A and B are shown apart, each in its own frame.
Chain A
Amino acid sequence: MLLQSAVSAASQLHPLSGTIAEWVWLLPILPLAGFVINGLLSLAGAHFGPSDPNTPAHDDAGHPHADRVVFVQGDPQITHVEADAEDDHHGVKRHRWAGAVSVVGPGVLILSFLLALGIWQAMVAANPTTPFLQTYFSWMPVGDLQINAAFQLDQLSMVMILVITGVGALIHVFSIGYMRDDPGYPRFFSYLNLFVFFMLVLVLGANYPVLFVGWEGVGLCSYLLIGFWFNDKANADAGKKAFIVNRVGDFGLLVAMFMLFANIGVLDFVGVSAKAVDLGAGSALVTTICLFMFLGCTGKSAQIPLYIWLPDAMAGPTPVSALIHAATMVTAGVYLIARSSFLFSLSPVASLTVAVVGAVTAIFAATIGLKQWDIKKVLAYSTISQLGYMFIGVGVGAYVSGMFHLVTHAFFKALLFLGSGSVIHAMHAAYHRTHSAEDAQDMRNMGGLKRYLPVTCVLMWIATLAISGIPPFSGFFSKDEILGSVFARAQGSTLASASWLGVPGSTLLYIVYGIGLAAAFLTAVYMTRMMLYTFHGPTRTGTEEEQALHEAPWIMTGPLVILAILTIAGGWLNLPEVITDLVPLGPREVLAHWLDPVVGGSTARIIAGAPAVPTSTEEALIATAVIIAVVGILFAILRLKPANLPRARDAVPEHGFEGVVAHKYYVDEGIDRVIVEPTYRVSRTFFWRIVDNGLIDGLLVNGSAALARAFGWMGSRLQTGNVGIYAWVLVVGVLAMLGALTLR
């Protein structure tokens, strides 16, 4: 095939050439094909014209549409619509092509996952030490700049591919049940498939520009999917917010790319990795590049200061939250730093910055999560917090630990989100039954659901234990490894010897470690709080509604079970030596060995010469982490009384510090006042009135018309009809012509 014959010369000698790995291009193409097919099916059944009459009156949370966007004579108007209960639709018609979409949408993902498994097997057998490059065409050959559309298959991208296609396939299957009655069913799957396509392009890219294509693409799909129920203005606003905040981060990534090219001249990973040392270890240049790149990561992975979009993104359907805002898209930032490990390991200041920001975000989000009542918002802040952990990991140069936590987090966070999806599905059904306008996502309306959703309850408890860091679940291993790495780096490494804004690196790392422990404690607390309020205690949903509460169908619970198994077993991916020495549980540090060819050099650069942490210290650290987690859970169980919780509509607003936390520290309001309002004002007064109306319209457009008219007036004055003037014009003309001849 033409594509497969277009390989770079180097891959001729690669152990993977000629194997199934040559079909790596098919991995993203399959979801792309799914996008096209589902998109066409969606268009085939579309009603064109003003708002879809089949749009459900309630969004995911059962909120009746408060602000509806209605098209009046072609202009969108926002009308306030009362909660109209008679707008309900029992026995709604499914989309005509729903059956085909149910096969195509998850089908392409499953096929992709199987192909990924095949490629993985080939990689295990071939055990390559260099990346496998596939160049498809020359994308931007401009002078010194040579950017190819190329894919790079190495161990790091393999890990990401397996996570994306695997967890993605499970979420697609879940969505078959969850989005069953939605009239936008094919559109949903087409967007999901498009997202997987872009995500795969992101992780498979062999150079920064191709990665950036995927980066932007997942941002686009995030916007499309958050605002999936766009008839509700709040959802559309959330989508816009996500995209715009992401854009701010993208600017950082772009600047980093520009600086890289300006100083090194290459943008592909292999090339940059080879030439990175030319930038100078620890120099201001490398630090600046890394910091700008990290700005991009804060946008995509929702760290301070650009995390504000993620809680709002919960306005999208729950499978979207699971796939994009838990398992895959938000991890792109972590992947980018792991991929650019050769840069970050050269700059201790940038790495320390990453770790510090990650730590602060972790604890900041954890505190907010303590006071959230919407179940999805709790999980959103939990995601932000866990992403902070991942950044701590890659920040201190423990790239393996960061990736390990990424994988395990994908498992248990997807499980949590999908589980909450089952809960919301049941609550939705309950409130439909009584045509109630209550919030189906508010935990104060839940309680005691373990009677009605026993399977979901057990599975979510598994995930909660995992996220809190209780052995032997996967979260324990990954989180503990991160904290252990921080401690080890604090003892001795390039980071410890560096100084960050005057503070010595080792002190900073110890502080980061402390913050990590505190955040772990808070994680245990708020996750247990969530479980208590949702599944235990008395049921606050209402006696009428209770009868409609039921377990989700198996098409939704099946993926949950698989994810739970992965959550339990995930720890075996990277068992630390400490534990395998004590208890021979299995192979040690599989993931570390797997990722060694990619990030090993960078990690070694950071650890260089540091003394190994004694085993007893490691054991003490592990014990500390476990104790803190257990204490957190117990604290929550003992302190929180779900029985005393009022229902959502009876709730009293919080005061004082609790109120501040409940309002997310007023960050959104602050940004609104400091950045958004002034921007509006400047735009309206200066840019609109002066520049747009005055300068462009007035001076340039109207001005050029006036200029033409002036020239015409001047020309008309020459044609007077007066013969004497004609003689003058003639002579002056002769003068000019002779002048041109003589004065040359």
Chain B
Amino acid sequence: MEPHYPLFYVFHFYLFGVIALASAITFVTRKSPVAAALWLVNTMFSLAALFVMLDAQFVGVMQVLVYAGAIMVVFLFVVMLLNLGHPSELADARGGGWKLAATLIGFGLLSEIIVITKTKLPSQLVVARDFNEQQLQKLNAVGMIAEPLFRNYLLAFELTSVLLLVAITGAVVLGRGRAAGAR
């Protein structure tokens, strides 16, 4: 099913993959929230690169803009706001036994996921090999996503916008402070 990939492509794929993985592991093992956030940003960047390599250019750009640029920034804002950066006041991770248990659970889940991925998806879902290429030629990268988004998944799109509205309202209300309700 897959075409033959040139070495350049494969090398960089693995490179970014390793970077993502290493960043993720480092992110998880940091004590300081600031350090953890920055390492997560790194992970996002590498994943964005991977997205682009997987022919999802729009998504890759969105990853950088939204995830790394907005969400992680908000995280860092909150950390700074609450002054949680100083190591002396930081909350530790759980003890050694818990870590071991968590690792074991992780391995269990991993094996289950591997087993699940062995299942075959129904063949009706598979599109032509060069379907994506054709779409890309017909419409550009943005159009490739916009077309199903505004045609087939319009309802979901509208609902998502409502969701965003609700989230914004909620965040504002929650973040306003103690005496906010009295006003």
Contacts and interface: CB of A to CB of B under 8 A. Distances in A.
Direct A–B touching in the complex (beta carbon < 8 Å)?
Answer: yes
A197 to B, nearest CB: 74
B37 to A, nearest CB: 20
Contacts of B115: 742
A735 B103 CA distance: 13
A724 B92 CA distance: 13
Main SS class of interface, A? helix
A741 interface: yes
B66 interface: no
A92 interface: no
A234 B94 CA distance: 80
B170 interface: no
Interface string B105-140: 100110011011000000000000000000000000
Contacts, number: 20
Main SS class of interface, B? helix
B105 A731 contact: yes
Contacts of A731: 105, 109
A614 interface: no
B116 A732 contact: no
Contacts of B116: 738, 741-742
Contacts of B112: 735, 738-739, 741-742
Contacts of B105: 731-732, 735
A728 to B, nearest CB: 8
Interface residues of A, number: 9
A710 interface: no
Nearest to B106: A731
17 contacts: A724-B94, A731-B109, A734-B109, A735-B105, A735-B108, A735-B109, A735-B112, A738-B109, A738-B112, A738-B113, A739-B108, A739-B112, A741-B112, A741-B116, A742-B112, A742-B115, A742-B116
Nearest to B98: A728
A219 B116 CA distance: 73
Nearest to B108: A735
A742 B118 CA distance: 10
Considering the complex of A and B, which 5 residue pairs feature the smallest CB-CB distances, nearest first? A738-B112, A742-B115, A742-B112, A735-B108, A735-B109
Given A732-B105, A738-B113, 8 more contacts: A731-B105, A731-B109, A734-B109, A735-B105, A735-B109, A738-B112, A742-B115, A742-B116
A716 B93 CA distance: 25
A214 B35 CA distance: 95
A739 B112 CA distance: 7
Interface string B68-111: 00000000000000000000000000100000000001001100
Which of A734, A739, A742 has most chain B Cβ within 10 Å?
Answer: A742
A109 to B, nearest CB: 85
A731 B113 CA distance: 14
A739 B109 CA distance: 8
A734 B115 CA distance: 15
Nearest to B112: A738
B120 to A, nearest CB: 15
Contacts of A738: 109, 112-113, 116
Interface in A725-744: 731-732, 734-735, 738-739, 741-742
